[in-house]
Amino acid sequence: MSLNQTEFQDDWFSRARTEADKGVPTNERASGVALFLVGVFLGLYFMLHQVWSTGFFTARFGMLEMFLLYGSLIAWLITSGLEGIFGQRLLSRLFDVFGGILFIAISFIWLLAIFPFEFIHFADVLPDFLRFLVQWMSNDIARGLMVIGIFVLAIAAIYSPVAYKFVRIERSKSKRN
C-alpha cells in the first residue's frame, strides 16, 4: 500500500472515529437547522406558486413531477432535520445511504429533462419590494444549478455509504472496548 493510500485510510478512519465518538458539533447542527428552514421555505414557496397558479409551473408539471419535486424537499428535510435538529448524524447518513441521495439525484435528472418551470415567474409570489432578490434567476441559470446539484449528489452518493461504513466499523470497535 502506498503512502497516499495509507494517509487516505487514516484520514477516513480518523473522521469515522470522530463521528462515532462525538455528537454533531454545534456549528454543523446550526447548518442542519438552517438547511431545514431553507427546505421548509422552498416547499412553501413552491406551494404558493402552485396554489396561486403564477405560471411558474408549466403544463408539463404533472403528478410525477410534483412527487419528485416535493419528495426531494421531504428527503432534504428528513436528512437536515435528523442531523441539525435531532443531532442524529448516523441516522441521517443511513437515510442518505439507503435512498435519500439517490432519490433526489433521480428527481433532479428527471426535472432537468422535463423542465416544467418558467423562471420568468419565479418572483411572482414575493411582495414587490423583495422581487429583486430572485428576478435574476432565468431558466438557463436554473438548469445550470440543477446540473451542479446532480454532480454534487453523485459525489455524495459515493461518499455517504463509505462514511457510513467507516462510522459503523468504528462504533463496533468502541462497543467491544
What are 77-98's pLDDT values in tens digits?
A: 998 888 888 888 777 877 887 7
What's the structural domain count of the chain? 1
Is residue 3, in this structure, part of any structural domain at all? no
Is residue 103, in this structure, part of any structural domain at all? yes
Give residue 11's pLDDT.
60
Instruction: Find the domain containing 78 and state its range.
Output: 21-176
Cα(first)–Cα(last) distance of the chain, in Å?
A: 28
- In this prediction, the residues of the chain whose per-residue pLDDT falls under 50 are 1, 20-21
Is residue 100, in this structure, part of any structural domain at all? yes
Give the DSSP H or E segment for 66.
helix 63-80
DSSP 126: S
Give residue 18's pLDDT.
56
Closest among 71, 73, 63 to 43, alpha carbons compared: 73
Question: Which three cell numbers mark 175?
Answer: 462497543
φ/ψ (deg, to 5) at 65? -65, -35
pTM of the model: 0.79
Q: For residue 122, with 0-12 CB atoms within 10 Å meaning exposed, 13-18 middle and 19 or more buried, which class applies? A: buried
Is residue 98, in this structure, part of any structural domain at all? yes
Closest among 86, 69, 98 to 160, alpha carbons compared: 98
Give residue 4's pLDDT.
54
Give residue 162's pLDDT.
80
Is residue 12, in this structure, part of any structural domain at all? no
Give residue 10's pLDDT.
54
What are 110-137's pLDDT values in tens digits?
A: 999 999 999 999 999 999 999 999 999 9
Is residue 4, in this structure, part of any structural domain at all? no
